[in-house]
Amino acid sequence: MKGLLKFSFFLLLTLNSCNKNSRSLSLTEVVDRIDVTVLDEQMAKVRDYVPLYSNIAFRGTTFWAPEQTEVSYRWAREIGADYIQAEVQCTKDKVIVAFADDELLKKSDCNEVFKFDNVTSIRRTFYKSFKNRDGSQHFSDNDIENQIQYDKLNESAIRISDFYYAELLILDAGQWFNDNYVSLAKEMFSSDGSSLAGTYMTGGSSLCYSNGQYISSLQDIAAIARGSKLSRDFEGRRILPYHIKAEYSDLTLEQIRQLNIDINNKNTGGTSISKFMDFVEYDYKSGYISDDVDSGNRPGICITLKEYKYQPIDIEDLLFNELDYCGWNIVTNISSDTKFYNNGKVNIGNTNGKVILQTFRLNFVERIESKFEGRVPMCYLIDNERPIDWSYKEYFDKPWDASKVIDYAITHKCHIIGPGVSGGELNLQNRCNDWQIDLIHKAKMPICTWLISENSQMNKSFDVMVSGSIDLVLNWQISNQLRCSSSLFNPFHSSFSYDNSEASLIVPDPMEVLISLEKSYNSKSSN
């Protein structure tokens, strides 16, 4: 009997032990057991260019003004955003511009300006506007008509990439906002509609720009971040002359087209015909003046590359060169300034953290890596849906798969991971559960959440937050003591606290900022 009792007791202990060892592990425990790639010392150095507990103004603002226009970026700078964000693509002459949609229809008046045969007339005027030194027309009429026929075969007349940047400056990029948000509508958001008539009044010799809000170029955004605004004439039209680049000055349009086709075919193995005509140079140096409402904030710029099949094959080279041109490329122009905030003013635009690059798409991750070599902060955004170019079945919803995503990102020189958080206008699938946050931090990577629009989404105190309502984020950060403090938790340097005590404790009233901007536009003249 005693032997039987001993055996029964041993069996019970064994079963209890088996049950204990076979219980399901929590996701947090699984994360603890996963080996994940960690940023090396050099990558961590670039990571630290971006301030913790910072914020990014999505498209400048998507609430108070027409997104990605001059007024929206000026507003975001004055409200105190750490970064102003732009979703970029290229024009026909390879100017990088901020425009989120693939097509122009929703957020410009292209239906009105480019209807019927207006596109042909405007294109003819554009080609005729190039002059020789003696004032004569540079391109011959026959050359122009042949090029126009080629353009018609390769364009849809609804996309950014179908138009030269000068042609896009005819458009009104703000009236759509007034039409959709009547309670927030303002005269400064739209033009008087005279650009098309003005173009025709010149007799087809020059384009007449709109006198409202424009589709912003990357150069415009950098200038605004530095404290400038667009230079305008007495009618409120922007001043931005253009001419033929020196290397194309002796070529016909047909020769320019063939040269661009040859370049594109070289880059694609001869499988693509290019519609891009990279021969125009814009005089940005005369395009900006000091902003009379500038209060001294110098935000950085967050550039989102969205995959558009209509974009040039060399967009990463164009981005590198444009950042270089405006002095924002830290690969070629390293900064010695390390203060993110200075006496209550944002100073990120003067540091090595002045630019963040980000994308949802793997091909852009790899193309940016090949060009920037991990020397500029790069964020891999986690899409709400599993991207078609990702091989892991569950993508970011299971620890093992998520670790593979992080491994990929670090291998390809990404410093930041950008998951979506549930709630808000988009009601994204939540990729910011505790175990996902722990796994990303385990790799020594910051978390950049998108798109924050409600207080409930901010409760996890993310490292960087993207928002279209940046005033809400700033007020929340201040009220939760995540700003203007010298002793914040630093997840990457546990022996040191994080200091952003020189940031401002005051968020300007959004409407008062708009009123000050309105006064600036009132005369329709900035000079």
- What tens digit of pLDDT does each residue of 100-112 get? 998 999 999 999 8
- Of residues 68 and 29, the one with the higher pLDDT is 68
**pLDDT at position 457:** 86
- Of residues 393 and 379, the one with the higher pLDDT is 379
Q: If pLDDT is split at 50, 70 and 90, which confidence band does 16 have?
A: very low
Q: What is the mean pLDDT of residues 267-276?
A: 62
Check whether 272 has a pLDDT greater than 90. no
Q: If pLDDT is split at 50, 70 and 90, which confidence band does 154 have?
A: confident
**pLDDT at position 313:** 87
Give the lowest-confidence range in 246-260, 362-376, 396-410, 426-440.
426-440
Specify the DSSP element, H or E, that contains 280.
strand 280-282
Check whether 257 has a pLDDT greater than 50. yes
**pLDDT at position 461:** 65
Q: If pLDDT is split at 50, 70 and 90, which confidence band does 267 have?
A: low
Write the DSSP assignment of 233-244 as a string of letters: -TTS-B---EEE
Nearest to 425 by CA among 63, 23, 128, 151: 63
Structure tokens at 275: 């519609």
**pLDDT at position 465:** 86
Check whether 358 has a pLDDT greater than 90. yes
Nearest to 418 by CA among 446, 459, 377, 444: 446
Give the C-alpha separation, 122 to 128, whole Å.
10
Give the lowest-confidence range in 325-334, 405-414, 468-477.
468-477
Check whether 399 has a pLDDT greater than 50. yes
**pLDDT at position 440:** 96
Return the bridge partners of 211, or none.
Answer: none
Q: What is the mean pLDDT of residues 397-418?
A: 95
Check whether 10 has a pLDDT greater than 70. no
Amino acid at 177: F
- Of residues 427 and 149, the one with the higher pLDDT is 149
Would you say 450 and 422 are in contact if contact means Cβ atoms under 8 Å apart?
no
Q: If pLDDT is split at 50, 70 and 90, which confidence band does 331 have?
A: very high
Check whether 1 has a pLDDT greater than 70. no
Task: Report the chain's mean pLDDT, rounded to a whole number.
Answer: 90
Amino acid at 256: I
**pLDDT at position 17:** 43
Give the C-alpha separation, 68 to 58, whole Å.
9
**pLDDT at position 82:** 98
**pLDDT at position 416:** 97
**pLDDT at position 139:** 97
**pLDDT at position 6:** 43
Neighbours of 174 (CB within 10 A): 29
Helix (H), strand (E), coil (C) string for 79-90: HCCCEEEEEEEE
**pLDDT at position 410:** 98
Check whether 474 has a pLDDT greater than 90. yes
Q: What is the mean pLDDT of residues 201-215?
A: 86
Q: How far is CA 181 from CA 185, 190, 465, in A?
A: 6, 13, 25
Check whether 14 has a pLDDT greater than 70. no
Q: If pLDDT is split at 50, 70 and 90, which confidence band does 423 have?
A: confident
Give the C-alpha separation, 64 to 81, whole Å.
14
Nearest to 212 by CA among 184, 231, 193, 225: 193
Give the C-alpha separation, 145 to 229, whole Å.
37
Q: How far is CA 431 from CA 39, 257, 380, 419, 426, in A?
A: 21, 46, 13, 5, 13
Percent of the chain topping pLDDT 90: 73
Nearest to 365 by CA among 439, 451, 304: 304
Q: If pLDDT is split at 50, 70 and 90, which confidence band does 22 have?
A: very low
Q: If pLDDT is split at 50, 70 and 90, which confidence band does 132 have?
A: very high
